Amino acid sequence: MSSPTRLLVLGVVRIFQPVHGYDVRRELRSWRAESWANVAPGSIYNALKSMARDGLVEVVGTDQVGGRPERTSYRLTAEGEREFGRLVREAFWAVAPSVDPLMPALSFIWTLRREEAIAALEHRIQALRGEAERARLEIARLDDPHSRDQVALMLDLAARRAAAELPWAEELVAKLRAGEYTFADERAPAEPTAR
């Protein structure tokens, strides 16, 4: 039971309590959390309810503005405070691998034709360059004083990871150009002179 979502929602409640779900959602949006966590609306509201069930969080009350849906406000319990500390430390000390949408694709790269694989990788290289650039520009444009520093740290890390993937992809393209590996449009390992 570690759940990054739990940590995230619990942490936001901890800072802004009392808060309701939509506040959490808005805050996480300003953290750019869509790109590194599960923060679809259902995930957030579910996290709040399940943490309430588990006594980490409690309902402060509900209010209503005009004819809009009721808002339920939450705050941490003492138990929630303890659990928050535990989750932060756990997340920091555990170097957990994360799911990665590229790996599955890479597993099947050789089902493409060689030329298409090269094209896909080159497209990716361009995209990664753009990604790193975008992160830099976005860092310059951060303004929310509450989250500026942390978000900048994360964008920086993301940019560096993208930058690390770049030479990897470039070297792979070079190998493919040199005839390494066997692709869908080929029968036997390609000889440099063949075809």
Q: Which H or E run contains 146?
A: none
**In the complex, least distance from residue 143 CB atom to DNA, rounded to whole angstroms:** 15
Joined tokens for residue 77: 């319990």
Per CB under 8 A, which of residues 84..143 are in contact with its own copies? 84-85, 88-89, 91-112, 120, 123-124, 127-128, 131
Which of 13, 48, 76, 158 touches its own copies by CB under 8 A? 158
145 contacts which partner out of DNA, its own copies, none, CB within 5 to 8 A by kind?
none
Give me the least distance between CB of 67 and its own copies, in Å please. Answer: 35
Q: Give the residue with the Cβ less far from its own copies, 131 or 190.
A: 131
Whether the link from the prior residue into 18 is cis, omega within 30° of 0, is yes
The answer to whether 161 contacts its own copies (rule: CB under 8 A) is yes
DSSP 8-state class, residue 189: P
Contact criterion met (CB below 8 Å) for 12 and 27: yes
Query: Which residue pairs from 93-96 have beta carbons closer than 8 angstroms and sit at least 24 positions apart in sequence?
Result: 94/2
Tell the smallest beta-carbon distance from residue 101 to DNA (Å).
11
191 binds its own copies (CB under 8 A): no
Strands ordered across the beta sheet of 71-76: 19-20, 71-76, 57-63
57 binds DNA (CB under 7 A): no
Query: Is 190 a binder of its own copies (CB under 8 A)?
Result: no
Residue 137 interface partner, choices DNA, its own copies, none, CB cut-off 5-8 Å depending on type: none
Which residues have C-beta within 8 Å of that of residue 70, sequence separation ≥ 6? 62, 63, 64
